[in-house]
Structure 1
Amino acid sequence: MTIAAINSRNQFKGQVVAVHRGSVVSEIEVETAAGIVSAVITTSSVDRLPLRVGDDVLAVFKATEVLVAKLSERA
């Protein structure tokens, strides 16, 4: 099965570079053009997909809140 379309614009195409498995939740690291995106998902989802290092994936996210922080200027 492939995704033909998705309504979310908040997505980055990338490749899985690390899978840190836990007993209940796991951390997935995805290398994208914008940098590394980390996601915490259930370990059962890791197995069901199944996700492995080297897999091409979409990191899709839903943001109900976005914070902006001003960075100090360097001297």
Structure 2
Amino acid sequence: MKLSARNQLKGTVTSVETGPVSAKVKIDIGGGNVITSTVTSETVEELGLKAGDAVVAIIKASEVIIGK
């Protein structure tokens, strides 16, 4: 699959917390860094997401906010 998004981070799903509508998927991208993505519960089911799965976190944003 080709994507226009350039921010693609390979990682491993560490946990999936599914609710009635949405789910939180935690992805370990290495170096002690974890990304949490909120997706629909339907997406978790369709992709069959579970702990241990190799995935790619794809980030597409029009803005990046920096705080200090």
- The residue aligned with 2:13 is 16
What are the ranges of 5 or more consecutive residues in structure 1 without an aligned counterpart? 71-75
What are the ranges of 5 or more consecutive residues in structure 2 without an aligned counterpart? none
Q: TM-score, normalised by structure 1?
A: 0.82
Higher relative contact order (CA 8 A, sep 6+): 2
Q: TM-score, normalised by structure 2?
A: 0.90
Write out aligned runs for 1:31-70 (5 A). 31-33=28-30, 35-70=33-68
Structure 1 residues 1-32: Cα deviation after superposition (integer angstroms, max 9, x where no partner): xx3x3221111100000001100000000000
User: What is the number of equivalent residue pairs in this alignment?
Assistant: 67
Structure 1 residues 21-72: Cα deviation after superposition (integer angstroms, max 9, x where no partner): 10000000000025100000000000001101000000001111111112xx
Q: Who wins on radius of gyration, i.e. which is larger?
A: 1
- Structure with more strand by fraction: 2
Which 4+ runs in 1 deviate beyond 2 A?
none
| Root-mean-square deviation (Å) | 1.1
